[in-house]
């Protein structure tokens, strides 16, 4: 997974990273947390896989139906792991929040999204829906929008966060560092 940092959809590195994430999810789901050794590598691999799977949804490499199922599976395993590893609690909460947003159909417009796209390109135009509880953009549900709009959308999930997508994976990582979560998460249901 780590061997792909800059490559976008369609490249060998990108496909390798996504296939790795799928395999990690498969192993952790199959073996369960109890079937794996008590090493910090396990929660880390699972957290990183979650970011990769979500990224595939964002890049429209993965359709929303499959992504929804996988992210739900990620949430379940992260939940399980977070009982023993505080380092994944942040990722688990964030992933759950994303799952809820996807699960309630708010992202269904992604079904008709543009194929391809670049992970790090600033010119990416997406067709994500804007959450209804974001007053500033409530009227823009389903419209195409730039990364600027996407940032506003993610700001709903993570206030005060510079949420250009390229930084989301860092968000996942950084978020996992502390046991006591920063205040922006206090309102998130676990």
Decide: is 99 part of the binding site for another protein (CB under 8 A).
no
Decide: is 2 part of the binding site for another protein (CB under 8 A).
yes
For CA atoms 37, 39, 41, 42, the dihedral sign is positive
- Interacting span for another protein (CB under 8 A) from 2-10, 68-76, 111-119, 147-155: 2-10
Nearer to another protein by Cβ, of 36 and 101: the residue is 36
DSSP for residue 62 = S
Rg (CA), the chain: 16
Strand, coil or helix: 55: helix
DSSP string computed for 103-169: HTTTTGGGGGPPS---SS-TT--B-PPPPTT-GGGGGGTT--B-HHHHHHHHHHHSTT----GGGHH
85 near 43, Cβ under 8 Å?
Answer: yes
Nearer to another protein by Cβ, of 177 and 189: the residue is 177
Decide: is 7 part of the binding site for another protein (CB under 8 A).
yes
46 near 74, Cβ under 8 Å?
Answer: yes
Which tokens hold the place of 160? Answer: 């005060």
Determine the Cα–Cα distance for residues 117 and 112; give it in Å rounded to an integer. Answer: 14
Decide: is 20 part of the binding site for another protein (CB under 8 A).
yes
Q: Which of 29, 86, 151, 155 binds another protein (CB under 8 A)?
A: 86
102 near 64, Cβ under 8 Å?
Answer: yes
From residue 129 to residue 168, the character string flagging contacts with another protein as x (rule: CB under 8 A) and all else as - is ----------------------------------------
- Interacting span for another protein (CB under 8 A) from 25-33, 70-78, 100-108, 147-155: 25-33
Decide: is 123 part of the binding site for another protein (CB under 8 A).
no
Nearer to another protein by Cβ, of 41 and 160: the residue is 41
Decide: is 119 part of the binding site for another protein (CB under 8 A).
no
- Interacting span for another protein (CB under 8 A) from 92-100, 111-119, 154-162, 170-178: 170-178
Nearer to another protein by Cβ, of 55 and 107: the residue is 55
Q: Which of residues 38-57 bind another protein (CB under 8 A)?
A: 38-42, 44-45, 48
């Amino acid at each position: 997974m780590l061997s792909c940092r800059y490559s976008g959809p369609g490249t060998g590195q990108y496909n390798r990273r996504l296939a790795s994430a799928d395999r990690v999810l498969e192993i952790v789901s199959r073996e369960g947390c109890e079937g794996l050794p008590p090493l910090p590598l396990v929660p880390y691999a699972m957290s990183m896989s979650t970011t990769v799977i979500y990224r595939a949804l964002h890049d429209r490499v993965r359709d929303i139906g499959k992504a929804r199922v996988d992210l739900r599976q990620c949430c379940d395993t992260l939940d399980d792991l977070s009982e023993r590893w505080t380092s994944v609690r942040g990722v688990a909460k964030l992933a759950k929040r994303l799952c809820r947003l996807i699960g309630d159909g708010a992202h269904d417009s992604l079904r008709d999204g543009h194929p391809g796209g670049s992970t790090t390109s600033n010119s990416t135009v997406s067709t994500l829906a804007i959450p209804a509880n974001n007053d500033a953009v409530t009227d823009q549900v389903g419209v195409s929008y730039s990364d600027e709009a996407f940032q506003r959308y993610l700001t709903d999930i993570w206030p005060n966060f510079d949420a250009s997508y390229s930084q989301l994976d860092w968000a996942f990582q950084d978020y996992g560092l502390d046991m006591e979560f920063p205040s922006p998460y206090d309102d998130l249901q676990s």
